[in-house]
């Protein structure tokens, strides 16, 4: 199965920047979105071969997630929003349950300038890790999204000057280390331990043109899915957002 994830930085905006062509070209079984920045009914995109799931923030034009799931795989056994219904006023989490796995897409809160929101960020991370571990006791987990952290120095262009900034603070990096230590694998780094590829670039200073980026978009899987992982990619050529899509291919047929 092919999984895709993309922080679109406004779904309505990216629909005018070639999203439908990218969606068709990537041809994923599951296509997850973060930062949709919309309310129900505001986006006109209804691919006939996919079920649609949206989670909207209470604040208009903010946050939000979505998942498009291929119908030929059948309806999910369940769909849930938030973390046990908590941490859900910002529409950050969608969980779909299938017979062989859970798919969770997430837009992790940004710690903000000066780490103004770091306490809430860490609280969210702890709740998410506990939630993923709970699901993992039942069946394997595929967790994806804009996780808003560059885990190691290889994951951003300028680690020294960004040390302590939002997305590269010791606290946020530590939470990722805790998650990976709790039975989960960073798919891209597992397959490509030394490869330097980024998934987000600031709109300032021509950062994308200079490839001064960060790898903050992930597919994280249960450790026991490692042998089923066939590919993990960062699609840097796909434009339309300040992020690019990331993908993972996992076999559940063996």
Residues annotated as catalytic are 107, 146
Nearest to 142 by CA among 185, 195, 206, 113: 185
DSSP state of 254: -
Task: Yes or no: say if 246 and 219 are a contact pair by the CB < 8 Å rule.
Answer: yes
Q: What six digits make up the tokens of 76?
A: 């999910």
Strands 50-55 and 141-146: unpaired
Nearest to 2 by CA among 116, 144, 117: 144
No. of H helices and E strands in the chain?
7, 14
Task: Yes or no: say if 4 and 245 are a contact pair by the CB < 8 Å rule.
Answer: yes
Alpha helices in 144-206 (DSSP H): 159-162, 170-180, 187-191
CA dihedral 112, 10, 187, 27 (to 10 degrees): 180
Q: What six digits make up the tokens of 178?
A: 């805790």
Residue 156 and residue 185: Cα distance in Å, rounded? Answer: 19
């Amino acid at each position: 199965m092919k999984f895709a994830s993309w922080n679109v930085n406004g779904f309505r905006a990216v629909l005018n920047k070639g999203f439908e062509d990218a969606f068709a070209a990537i041809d994923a079984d599951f296509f997850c979105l973060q930062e949709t920045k919309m309310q129900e009914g505001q986006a006109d995109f209804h691919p006939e071969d996919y079920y649609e799931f949206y989670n909207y923030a209470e604040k208009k034009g903010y946050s939000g997630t979505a998942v498009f799931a291929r119908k030929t795989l059948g309806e999910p056994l369940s769909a849930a929003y938030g973390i046990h219904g908590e941490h859900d006023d910002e529409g950050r989490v969608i969980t779909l349950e299938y017979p062989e796995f859970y798919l969770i897409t997430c837009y992790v809160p940004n710690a903000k300038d000066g780490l103004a929101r770091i306490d809430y960020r860490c609280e969210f991370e702890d709740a998410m890790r506990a939630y993923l571990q709970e699901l993992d006791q039942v069946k394997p987990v595929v967790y994806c999204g804009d996780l808003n952290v560059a885990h190691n120095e290889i994951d951003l262009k300028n680690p020294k000057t960004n040390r302590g900034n939002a997305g590269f603070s010791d606290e946020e990096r530590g939470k990722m280390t805790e998650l990976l230590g709790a039975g989960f694998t960073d798919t891209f780094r597992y397959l490509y331990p030394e490869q330097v590829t980024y998934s987000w670039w600031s709109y300032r200073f021509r950062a994308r043109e200079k490839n001064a980026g960060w790898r903050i978009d992930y597919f994280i899987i249960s450790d026991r899915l490692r042998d089923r992982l066939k590919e993990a990619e960062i699609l840097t050529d796909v434009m339309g957002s300040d992020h690019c899509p990331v993908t993972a291919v996992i076999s559940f047929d063996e």
